[in-house]
Amino acid sequence: MTMSPWLAALCLAGPASPAAPVDLEAERAAVQRADSAMSEATARRDLAGFLAFLSEDVWFIPNGAETAVGRDGVARLWAALFQERGPTLTWRPTEPDVASSGDLAYTRGEFESKGTDREGKPSTRTGRYLTVWRKQVDGSWRVAVDTSDPGPPPAGSSGFQATRERGETAKAGDLDYAVGRFEATDADGKPILRRGRYVEVRRRGSDGGWRVVASAAVP
């Protein structure tokens, strides 16, 4: 019997090696370091250093402003923050949650912004943020989606009408996120006074079901 060249090559190659297990503790530490380093770059007004932590197709979803897409869009949105006399911004991330495949993660935490109000008096604003991270080919972690200062559903709302615009699922199939537009509704399903974008992160449990582990609704 004559063996075809491709079959002979396959036999010589042998069985595929199993993928090396992911060191989740190391990946969580890497995401934590990246988030903290991005905060430090922002505090010292290092725009290039800040942008280096963003993926090319990043979405930034601020409260009360248009969503910025891509690094250039974020740079324009945050230009005032990096000016010498602009407000300062720092944040403190909590322990990240990382997919078992080590390719998708998210962090949450608190931020603090200091500046001056319209009367020139010192002012401080605090809030919470949610960031989704994607691992790059070179092993680094970069921001895929970020949103800050998410608020609670408006009074009188009983649900949301949501339209998904973007999302990803980890290779392991145990962590995913979705981004889209929402419209809060009353008990009759009619729109009320809040519209915006949402970010939702889900984790798959041992029973195979999905549960929301982090979310934000930003007007």
Report how far residue 144's alpha carbon sits from residue 97's, in angstroms, rounded to the nearest whole number.
Answer: 15
Taking residues 11-34, report their average pLDDT. 80
Which residues make beta-bridge pairs with 159? 185
pLDDT for residue 79? 87
pLDDT digits over 45-95, tens only? 999 999 999 999 999 999 878 899 999 999 999 888 888 777 889 999 988
Asked if 195 and 213 touch (Cβ cutoff 8 Å), the reply is no
For the chain, the C-alpha Rg in angstroms (whole number) is 21
pLDDT for residue 85? 79
pLDDT for residue 148? 83
Does residue 3 carry a pLDDT above 70?
no
Does residue 12 carry a pLDDT above 60?
no
Q: How many CA atoms lie within 13 A of 114 on its CB side?
A: 6
pLDDT for residue 183? 82
Asked if 96 and 134 touch (Cβ cutoff 8 Å), the reply is no
Report how far residue 146's alpha carbon sits from residue 131's, in angstroms, rounded to the nearest whole number.
Answer: 4
pLDDT digits over 159-181, tens only? 667 899 999 999 999 999 999 99
pLDDT for residue 10? 46
Return the structure tokens found at 160.
Answer: 């949301």
Q: What is 24-218's CATH topology?
A: Nuclear Transport Factor 2; Chain: A, (3.10.450)
